[in-house]
Structure 1
Amino acid sequence: MTDVDGEKLAELRRDIDRVDGEIVALLLERVGVARRIGLAKGDGPVYDPAREAEVLERVRGHACSGDAEPDRALAASLGAIYREVLSLCRGVQSPLQVAVLGPQGSFSEDAARTALGSAVTLRYQGSIPDIFRVLDNGGADLGVVPIENTIEGAVLFTLDAFAGASKGLRVQSELSLPIRHVLVSEAASLADVTEVRSHPQALAQCRVWLRTNLPGAVLVAAESTSGAAASVKGLRHAAAICSRRAAAHHELPVLAEHIQDQPGNSTRFWIVGKGPVRPGPKNKTSVLFNVAHRPGTLFAALEPLYTALRNLTHIQSRPLAGNPFEYLFFVDFEGHEEEETVKKVLAAMAEHCTFFRVLGSYPFRSVEDL
């Protein structure tokens, strides 16, 4: 064993203490500036996703030294630290009330904490439509909802809820989050599990694992993964698919982990609120529209995107209530509505639609961007 140089170690620890003091002083200074920014904003929105995306991108840039490759571990750690710094500075202006799918421990909560940090008050809702109702009624500043999964595709509950929501609600930002499912139960072993409960999306994302490891188990749909976890507490025959956060919250043993069928399983979440947001470093625009039930009308509505060379990142159709075999179309493409090209694209698309609504132009990022 190498001898420890006690004097040198003490000197280095004094350096650490000095640096910590400087960091705290600078954080206090930043909080003070943030408080003054809040006063300058007046009644303006506290959450500025474009500004936060700019800050995070700049911070990640500091992980590079000259022309060297970025230190990804350092960049990820800085992102996690600054997520909380931004959350703290938002909180001194006005703490955000955020509606998420409950109960505690849902993946929507994970997304909210990852995107917005700890200095928010979460309002747990029983369903995705409930989140939109709370936002419409002014019971929360923001809502976090899943919109698309890499295995199961679009989350139709969210699309349908957005189609019926007030026009004032808009997508504020987007986050892609890795989804890691665990199986929890108070059963002694997998052999004792005869029933598995979870949200339909989670059950579908683990169907191969379930078929292989629990072929005789009855699958039961729940409103949320965290609700499923709560429902199996105290049961010796039932298990739930949920997040580690939910497992820890309900103090449930983990029988199996990483049970999703694809290792790259991730979900896009939308942060929804009121009013438009300005462009960030990377932007998407989402629209909802309907076209006349005639040949070529959908092509005509989408052609402006092709002409402008705008990348179409998602398209989904949903039946139009009361009109058999007619559909609402949800489309995402890259760009922001404040760009002149995008303005022209939106105007040209609207000309070919019987109904047209911009759901939002917003910054987007993956968890690696945080």
Structure 2
Amino acid sequence: MTDNKTPILPGNEEAELKKLRIEIDRLDTEMVALISQRAECAMRVAAVKLQADPGSAVFYRPEREAQVLSQVMERNPGPLGNEDMARLFREIMSACLALEKPLEVAYLGPEGTFTQQAAKKHFGQWVITKPMPAIDEVFREVEAGAVQYGVVPIENSTEGVVNHTLDTFMSSNLKICGEVELRIHHHLMAGPNTRLDKITRVYSHQQSLAQCRKWLDAHMPLAERIAVSSNAEAAKRVKGEWSSAAIAGEMASELYDLEIIETKIEDSPDNSTRFLIIGTQNVGLSGGDKTSLVVSMRNEPGALYHLLKSFNDFGIDMTRLESRPSLSGNWTYVFFIDFVGHISDPTVIEAMEVLKKTAVDVKVLGSYPKGVL
């Protein structure tokens, strides 16, 4: 092949393109063969697991997938970016896993929500997604064994924590198995016959309306803002109405056949939402892990100090601390904590032993790989 730094003489462009196309065809043939070999290997892995444990074989290992994606990014020579390369492998892994056993995942619906988009980003396009009407219904679906995993929102970079998710964890025995962060882009959409200057109502979830407040104040100050259960529900309503618009994601516009009138109307350009993957399994070490806890402290002076001291003394990086009213009594609170590390790390084990001496209760919600994509 001609080096890309070697100048191509006039009149030789077609000959050079022909050589490049032949090379691309050769590489495509090699890639198809290698992907097929990988798929065959995945099927053999499934056979080994079924032979060892026919009744309860586990096909999806969050820590293993996180390791593979991290290695792909570390080994990537370019010119594709690390995340682009990892997303390609994410889909290959998703297709291979579907050959072993297709995953079923519940999410906060209806179809077209950002939560469904997060599920697809984390598990790949080959996952079977099941919409649920409420966060606690997602938990119940996983607890009942109707699906293997669930996806629920936990916090937004501008609007803060999703309290319903935190509260549901207090009464659930499910484990956090992973996390995924999604960049949130809000678009204004409507039916094909609706004009921007004729819109009198804007539907969206209350958080999305809040995240687009400045844009709405500047461009549609007289339009009524109506909060609904989800952005997808907003898009669904608009499909059958005149003089109304919805704020939702691109997936919703495609699903409900709406025209995007204005793109990226969110007030914060780095608006992101973090989602949690919930399941029944404990997740092993991946090498880049986080742990989430619920801690109940005695209602006494210095309680928060002793809580924080347990982490500081052992050099553990606490990444999030939220307080919520306890379900056990008035004016008592529990603390939701995220920190870097796995519950099986020796240092973490020591810190937890110290914490348990001052806390009323320590509940481990799960150790899981930090989001790779």
Q: Same fold (TM over 0.5)?
A: yes
Q: SS of the residue aligned with 1:313?
A: strand
Amino acid at match of 2:68: V
From 144, 157, 178, the equivalent of 1:150 is 157
- The aligned residue for residue 245 of structure 1 is 251
From 270, 273, 276, the equivalent of 1:267 is 273
Q: Deviations over 1:280-331 (max 9, x none)?
A: 2321110012112111122212321111111111111111235222112111
From 17, 33, 45, the equivalent of 2:25 is 17
Q: SS of the residue aligned with 1:130?
A: helix
Indicate whether 1:341 and 2:347 are aligned: yes
Q: CA–CA distance in 1 between the matches of 2:203 and 2:354?
A: 46
From 54, 60, 73, the equivalent of 2:67 is 54
Shift in Å, 1:175 = 1.4
Q: C-alpha root-mean-square deviation of aligned residues, in Å? A: 1.8
Shift in Å, 1:4 = 5.2
Q: CA–CA distance in 1 between the matches of 2:143 and 2:65?
A: 25
From 124, 129, 132, the equivalent of 1:125 is 132
Q: CA–CA distance in 2 between the matches of 1:153 and 1:144?
A: 18
For normalisation by structure 2, the TM-score amounts to: 0.91
Shift in Å, 1:89 = 1.6
Amino acid at match of 2:189: V
Matched-pair identity in %: 36
- The aligned residue for residue 295 of structure 2 is 289
Q: Which has the larger radius of gyration?
A: 2
Indicate whether 1:29 and 2:34 are aligned: no
Amino acid at match of 1:350: K
Say whether the 8 Å CA contact 1:312–1:334 is kept in structure 2: yes
From 136, 159, 163, the equivalent of 2:166 is 159
Say whether the 8 Å CA contact 2:294–2:362 is kept in structure 1: yes
Say whether the 8 Å CA contact 1:320–1:326 is kept in structure 2: yes
- The aligned residue for residue 53 of structure 2 is none
Q: SS of the residue aligned with 2:242?
A: coil
Amino acid at match of 2:159: E
Q: CA–CA distance in 2 between the matches of 1:355 and 1:325?
A: 17
Name stretches of at least 5 consecutive residues in structure 1 with no aligned partner.
65-70
> Would the alpha carbon gap of residues 76 and 322 (structure 1) be closer, same or farther in structure 2, given more than 3 Å must change?
closer
From 142, 160, 172, the equivalent of 2:177 is 172
Q: CA–CA distance in 2 between the matches of 1:72 and 1:351?
A: 53
Say whether the 8 Å CA contact 1:59–1:79 is kept in structure 2: yes
Q: Relative to structure 2, which stretch is displaced further, 212-221 or 355-364?
A: 212-221
Matches within 5 A, 1:59-208: 59-64=72-77, 71=78, 73-165=80-172, 167=173, 169-186=174-191, 188-208=194-214
Q: Relative to structure 2, which stretch is displaced further, 208-217 or 116-125?
A: 208-217
- The aligned residue for residue 3 of structure 2 is none
Q: SS of the residue aligned with 1:55?
A: helix
Q: CA–CA distance in 2 between the matches of 1:296 and 1:204?
A: 36
Q: Relative to structure 2, which stretch is displaced further, 9-18 or 203-212?
A: 9-18
Q: CA–CA distance in 1 between the matches of 2:249 and 2:10?
A: 43
Say whether the 8 Å CA contact 1:100–1:124 is kept in structure 2: yes
- The aligned residue for residue 68 of structure 1 is none
Shift in Å, 1:143 = 0.7
For normalisation by structure 1, the TM-score amounts to: 0.92
Indicate whether 1:225 and 2:227 are aligned: no
> Would the alpha carbon gap of residues 150 and 11 (structure 1) be closer, same or farther in structure 2, given more than 3 Å must change?
same
Shift in Å, 1:181 = 0.6
Q: CA–CA distance in 2 between the matches of 1:125 and 1:4?
A: 59
Say whether the 8 Å CA contact 1:318–1:327 is kept in structure 2: yes
